[in-house]
Structure 1
Amino acid sequence: MAIEYDTLLEQVEGHDFWLSYLSDALQATSGVGIHLAIFAEPFLSMILSGEKTIESRFSRNRCAPYREISDGDIILAKAVAGPVLGIALARRVWYYDLGTEPIGRIRDRFGAGIRADEEFWSSRSDALYATLIELDTPAAIAPVNSSKRDRRGWVALRSRQLSFDFL
């Protein structure tokens, strides 16, 4: 799966923070992770407008982004069956094992930032794991194509854990 990073850099011109942060993150020595996250509406628009400040991913298995995203990583926001339309910073990340942390407690603490309705919460009642990500500095960008064709909702394009610096 490919993202044209040069094209991505062109699309963040005019966003001073993102031009600098992304340029640094794309250096071979950077430890910043880069993630591709798929969003349906209205959540994509809510993220890009800054209205949705917490992204949540619930699952029955330990799958991305669980234990794969870290504070300071970059999230590329891709529309379902569409291009990358935005970028956001993972300001802070929390992981939960829902066998020990009740989902109701997560809803009470993060629900306002997640911006989800009752149906959303009901549909996650059988989840075993949760990843919550505080989003910062969201920015809409001109569309950037991605060759992603599978059904995964989250892909670590470059994991912080896979970055090594050998001398």
Structure 2
Amino acid sequence: MEVEFDELLEQVDGHHFWLTYLSDATRPRSRIGIHLAIFAEPFLSMVLSGEKTIESRFSRNRCAPYGEIDDGDIILLKEVAGPICGLALARRIWCYDLSTEPIDRIRHRFGAAIRADDEFWSSRADALYATLIELDAPASIAPVGCDKRDRRGWVSLRSRQMAFDFA
């Protein structure tokens, strides 16, 4: 999978914060993680408008973003079967092992910010792990192509544990 970071930098040119932050993140020795998150509507629009302030990812296995995302990391927002069309900053992260943390407690504490309905919560009843990400500074950008062909809903392009050179 390939993301054109030069093209991404061109698209954030009008966003001073994102131009500076993304430029710093793409330097070879940067400790800022970069992640690609796939969103369906209406959740993508809710994130970009700032209406949805917590992104949640539930799984039966310990997979990304669980344990791979950190405060200050960049999340590239990609539309299902579409381009990257936005960015958000991971402000705070919570990782839960649902064998010890009841999902109902998570729903009570974060449900309004996650913006999910009863069907969403019931469909996650068999999850064993949850990652919650407080989102900040969401920004829409002109579409940037991304050659992603697998079914993963989250890809860590560079987590803080990975040594990755964008050069």
TM-score range, shorter chain: over 0.9
Deviation at 1:29, TM superposition (A): 1.1
- Is 1:6 the counterpart of 2:6 in the alignment? yes
- Is 1:148 the counterpart of 2:148 in the alignment? yes
Q: How does 1:7-26 map to 2 (within 5 A)?
A: 7-26=7-26
Deviation at 1:158, TM superposition (A): 1.0
The letter of the residue matching 1:85 is C
The letter of the residue matching 1:82 is G
Distance 1:132 1:159 in 2: 16
Distance 2:159 2:4 in 1: 17
Counterpart residue number, 2:81 = 81
Q: TM-score, structure 1 length as denominator?
A: 0.97
Distance 2:68 2:29 in 1: 18
SS state of the match for residue 31, structure 1? coil
SS state of the match for residue 151, structure 2? coil
The letter of the residue matching 1:84 is I
Deviation at 1:163, TM superposition (A): 3.4
Instruction: State, as a whole percentage, how many aligned pairs show the same letter.
Output: 77
Counterpart residue number, 2:135 = 135
Indicate if the aligned counterparts of 1:31 and 1:163 stay in contact, CA closer than 8 A. Answer: no
Q: How does 1:1-167 map to 2 (within 5 A)?
A: 1-163=1-163
Q: Spell out structure 1 runs of 4+ moving beyond 6 A.
A: none
Deviations 1:21-59 (A, max 9, x none): 000011111000100000000000000000000000000
RMSD: 0.8
Deviation at 1:159, TM superposition (A): 1.4
Distance 1:156 1:32 in 2: 11
The letter of the residue matching 1:132 is L
The letter of the residue matching 1:61 is N
Aligned residues: 164
The letter of the residue matching 2:137 is T
SS state of the match for residue 162, structure 1? coil
Q: TM-score, structure 2 length as denominator?
A: 0.97
